[in-house]
Amino acid sequence: MTDLLEQTVKSISESIRFDSSLTHATSATPFGKGAADCLAHFLALARSFGFETHNYDNYCGEVIFGDGPEFAILAHLDVVPAGNGWTKDPFGGEVADGKIWGRGAIDDKGPVMCVLYALKALKDEGFSPKRKIKFIVGCNEENGWACIEHYNEVATMPEEGFSPDGNFPVIYAEKGILHVRLHFPMDEKSPFFFLEGGSGANMVCDECSATPRTLTLTRARELGLEICNKKIIAHGKSAHGSTPELGQNAILPILEFFAGKSERVRYIIDCLFHDFHHITELEDETGRLTLSPNMIKYRKGEVQVICDIRYPATVPYAEVIERINRIGVKYETIRHQAPLMQDKNGALVQTLLNAYEQVTGRHEAPLAIGGGTYARALKNGVAFGPEMEGDEPVMHQADEYITIDRVKLLLDVYKAAIEALTK
């Protein structure tokens, strides 16, 4: 490996060792100590390269390079919870088998470090950007974007830029994101005393458990449920909330266990898993609406379910809400982000496409995705890498990794793109 690649791999590994998932907030650490420590590590590294840096109250940080009209690169250091099913230490940053393993390796600590080292390479070569590059790293991308809200209060967000937090060759459109909590009332004699599952609104539930009023062992075994101290447990496979088809939702087998004993449980299944109200039929060029019930709990006579909804970019928000209203239960909106749609033939998209093709030799068309990136924070923003067609889907899943070959590619692509956009 070259010195630059070795240093980048080392820094990615170091960054992964910080558990920067959302934890208890203090006045000094709004998203928890892990996120603040991870940000401090990143900014110290950037300063050691000779860059100007800013820490905005541990909400987010910034690296400055160049002068002139502003250009943003937006990425994040926070991660979703580790979840279950790992064979590697999720916060070990192990380098083995040509990969760097750990939560955040591909989303988004690996790309963060690749951009930083690409900037360092340009700086070391004597490149002088004719735009002021603001490399902004947030610490709350996975849980509401309070980091971006704070940045807009204390600094000035550029109008144009990209986020290294999506797919290649470039993402011109992103679906709208809607997280809602639905309240399904239960009868006085609910078939369970306890029900709970899921670790994140944007992660397919990989474990769900319940304590039945009556335990039917045969039925539990038919559904592949674990039985432990009168509790039934379902194990699934996590996936990103925007691609629920890549996971296996552990909530469904638990609800199916109770469906024969409760019409209200059957209604939950019909609404959220069988799409009784045709919510997922909404569709456009950016794809179909996806609905993923990712968190569930039984409290005070009702089953509360948090659903991750990704709706097509050209579908009006009001139409999505009308479909949700068909379910006929109380709900509240936890999070909403409007869709993103940029011009496929615009200068930003075409420049990034050209840089990607220059490095990889691959000529590909711009993409639309269900995921949401910081590109939405910009008037003219798109997502640009790090994932490519054919990659194993590991984002938000156990044993997340980034290959060393991909790190090398990212260094080259981001270096070429930044130079082309700011020369």
Quick: pLDDT tens for 186-205.
Answer: 987 899 999 999 989 999 99
Domain termination site, one of 309, 337, 365: 337
Res 300: pLDDT = 87
Q: How do beta strands 207-212 and 231-235 pair?
A: antiparallel
Res 223: pLDDT = 92
Size (the chain), residues: 423
Domain termination site, one of 294, 311, 337: 337
C-beta neighbour count of 353 within 10 angstroms? 21
Roughly what angle, to the nearest 10 degrees, separates helices 110-124 and 3-16? 150
Q: What is the CATH number of the domain that holds 390?
A: 3.40.630.10
Residues 292 and 324 in one domain: yes
What is the rounded distance in angstroms from the CA atom of residue 205 to the CA atom of residue 245? 12
Give 86-90's long-range contacts (Cβ < 8 A, gap of 24+).
Answer: 86/398, 86/399, 87/398, 87/399, 88/399, 90/398, 90/400
What is the rounded distance in angstroms from the CA atom of residue 163 to the CA atom of residue 166? 7
Residues 330 and 363 in one domain: no
Residues 389 and 250 in one domain: no
Res 215: pLDDT = 87
Which active-site residues does the annotation give?
Answer: 78, 141
pLDDT at 100 over 90: yes
Q: How large a percentage of the chain has pLDDT more than 90?
A: 92
Q: What is the CATH number of the domain that holds 210?
A: 3.30.70.360
Res 83: pLDDT = 87
- Mean pLDDT across 250-257: 97
Residues 325 and 398 in one domain: no
Per-residue confidence band for 415, with pLDDT thresholds at 50, 70 and 90: very high
pLDDT in tens, 33-42: 999 999 999 9
Per-residue confidence band for 171, with pLDDT thresholds at 50, 70 and 90: very high
Mean pLDDT (the chain, rounded): 96
Q: How do beta strands 386-387 and 176-185 pair?
A: unpaired
Res 180: pLDDT = 98
Residues 125 and 219 in one domain: no
Res 169: pLDDT = 97
Per-residue confidence band for 46, with pLDDT thresholds at 50, 70 and 90: very high
Residues 11 and 60 in one domain: yes
Closest to 369 measured CA to CA, from 339, 349, 394: 339
SS3 57: coil
For 336-363, give the DSSP string. EE--EE--TTSHHHHHHHHHHHHHH---
Res 187: pLDDT = 85
Residues 252 and 384 in one domain: no
Closest to 346 measured CA to CA, from 382, 319, 317, 373: 382
Contact 7, 117 (CB under 8 A): yes
Q: How many domains does the chain have?
A: 2
Q: Report the alpha-carbon angle 396-242-157, nearest 5.
A: 85
Res 79: pLDDT = 97
C-beta neighbour count of 281 within 10 angstroms? 10
> Which domain covers residue 22, as residue numbers?
3-175+340-422
Residues 411 and 350 in one domain: yes
pLDDT at 1 over 80: no
Roughly what angle, to the nearest 10 degrees, separates helices 404-422 and 347-360? 140
Residues 270 and 309 in one domain: yes
Per-residue confidence band for 304, with pLDDT thresholds at 50, 70 and 90: very high
Res 217: pLDDT = 86
Domain termination site, one of 291, 316, 337: 337
Residues 168 and 188 in one domain: no
pLDDT in tens, 109-141: 999 999 999 999 999 999 999 999 999 999 999
Residues 92 and 12 in one domain: yes
Residues 168 and 192 in one domain: no
pLDDT at 273 over 80: yes
Amino acid at residue number 15: S
